[in-house]
Structure 1
Amino acid sequence: MGNTCAWPVLRTTDLDEALDLAERLLAVATWYEPSWCHLDAWAHSESELRQLTDAFPGAGVTSYGADGALLPANVAVGIETVVEARETLATGMAITRCHILWHNLKWPPVPELGLDEEYKYAELEVACHSHDIHCEKWAPEHTVFIHARPGHDERAAWLAAQVDARVVGPSEHGW
């Protein structure tokens, strides 16, 4: 058991720029399973939930409302390609705050930093209109997060440097 730590490596109002960086970071991974990617969108109103389920037929819907209430609800959509991620994310963010998460990947070893290959905590995320991984508060920018083992600040900085980026804020506790 354990939780990731997430480092922001880009904040931008340009969704294509965020997804381009994500694609470059995926190329740094020593391995990843493209089908282990999903969009998570939160519906806080019946209108949002209806729009999301209309936009993504067959999506998984999980209710988190208290005392049997339907809302808030999480809508999860499986994604298989970066092209599909672009389309799905653009559709989701037109309705509500959401994020794309790639997991089941491996960050490469960084021998000069004493870091072995990382699998368990390796994830990559693009959060739309948010500065946090859970998309709790609206922001004008989209944020790209590198998830890794807690305490591996050097790995996050190294990964970002491989794609001409840098860590742009403090890390946050992941999942």
Structure 2
Amino acid sequence: MSNDIAYPVFHGPDPALALSIARRLMELGRCEYTNVSLYAELRSVDEVRRRAKELPEGWFRGQEQYGEFDDRVPFEDRPAWLVGVQGPDLPTDPSAYEGRLPVDYELLNQAVDSVEGAFTSAIGPSVGEINWQDLCWPDAPEVGFRGECKHAEVTLLLNTSTRQYDGPAGYHTVLVHVRSVDVDGRQRREPYAHWLAGQVGLAVIGPGQPG
């Protein structure tokens, strides 16, 4: 079992520019099976409605209250939109959202270049991410690394700077992922992340973020 670690290679306030840079990095490892997934935390009813209009095929899930459901309540008996519904099935009554925010949004395993632009345009103040997975990074013999596919990913964090969504930020962050190899507290494959970033004119600009 192995894990990934992601290194920031760009920060900036313009979401369209951040998307363009993330795509440039993604193209370095793009292959036949590459796909993209979207995630967001929608913190107001207006944000939920905007996302439902722009990308209704995504799945929306409201927050359960602590102790509201336990193992005795079958999954299928829970309110549908707390389990997950697509845009057309969201509640229309604003009172249904009381105590249910933030609403989680996800749209998984989509074709590359099919949803990223619409998602970035609609993100507004929401915290979220675009994640390109199933990439294959090339060999880097000049720095002593073979290519890898298992942990080859690119992430664009929107309105936050960490993978844990630790609070909003006034900028967006692009991350390049490689396999984590921690030896005595030192990441042995960090030079590979530097090399990958350099292939598209970028540079690692901060510490790695574990998965």
Name the TM-score class by shorter chain.
0.7 to 0.9
After TM superposition, give the deviation of residue 83 of structure 1 in Å: 5.9
Specify which of 155, 164, 173 is matched with residue 201 of structure 2. 164
Structure 2 SS opposite 1:105: coil
Give the partner amino acid of 2:199.
Answer: Q
Tell me how far apart the structure 2 counterparts of residues 15 and 89 of structure 1 sit (CA, whole Å): 7
**Which runs of 4 or more aligned residues in structure 1 lie more than 3 Å from their structure 2 counterparts after TM superposition?**
44-51, 62-66, 68-73
The answer on whether the counterparts of 2:54 and 2:118 sit within 8 Å (CA) in structure 1 is: no
After TM superposition, give the deviation of residue 80 of structure 1 in Å: 2.1
The answer on whether the counterparts of 1:39 and 1:101 sit within 8 Å (CA) in structure 2 is: yes
Tell me how far apart the structure 2 counterparts of residues 148 and 62 of structure 1 sit (CA, whole Å): 30
- Find out whether 1:98 has 2:135 as its counterpart: no
After TM superposition, give the deviation of residue 113 of structure 1 in Å: 2.4
Q: How does 1:1-175 map to 2 (within 5 A)?
A: 1-29=1-29, 31=31, 33-34=33-34, 36-63=35-62, 65-67=64-66, 68=68, 70-78=100-108, 79-82=110-113, 84-91=115-122, 93-150=123-180, 151=187, 152-174=189-211
Tell me how far apart the structure 2 counterparts of residues 90 and 58 of structure 1 sit (CA, whole Å): 16
Tell me how far apart the structure 2 counterparts of residues 94 and 77 of structure 1 sit (CA, whole Å): 17
Tell me how far apart the structure 2 counterparts of residues 30 and 81 of structure 1 sit (CA, whole Å): 9
The answer on whether the counterparts of 1:5 and 1:147 sit within 8 Å (CA) in structure 2 is: yes
Structure 1: gaps spanning 5 or more residues: none
Structure 1 SS opposite 2:115: helix
Tell me how far apart the structure 1 counterparts of residues 55 and 206 of structure 2 sit (CA, whole Å): 33
- Indicate the structure (1 or 2) with the bigger Cα radius of gyration: 2
After TM superposition, give the deviation of residue 55 of structure 1 in Å: 3.1
Structure 2: gaps spanning 5 or more residues: 69-98, 181-186
After TM superposition, give the deviation of residue 114 of structure 1 in Å: 2.3
After TM superposition, give the deviation of residue 72 of structure 1 in Å: 3.7
Give the partner amino acid of 2:106.
Answer: A
Structure 2 SS opposite 1:28: helix
Structure 2 SS opposite 1:82: coil
Task: Say which is worse superposed, 153-162 or 66-75, in terms of deviation.
Answer: 66-75
TM-score for both structures, normalised by structure 1: 0.85
Tell me how far apart the structure 1 counterparts of residues 38 and 30 of structure 2 sit (CA, whole Å): 23
Task: Say which is worse superposed, 24-33 or 140-149, in terms of deviation.
Answer: 24-33
Structure 2 SS opposite 1:57: coil
Tell me how far apart the structure 2 counterparts of residues 123 and 64 of structure 1 sit (CA, whole Å): 28
Tell me how far apart the structure 1 counterparts of residues 32 and 178 of structure 2 sit (CA, whole Å): 14
The answer on whether the counterparts of 2:18 and 2:174 sit within 8 Å (CA) in structure 1 is: yes
Tell me how far apart the structure 1 counterparts of residues 28 and 36 of structure 2 sit (CA, whole Å): 17
After TM superposition, give the deviation of residue 31 of structure 1 in Å: 2.1
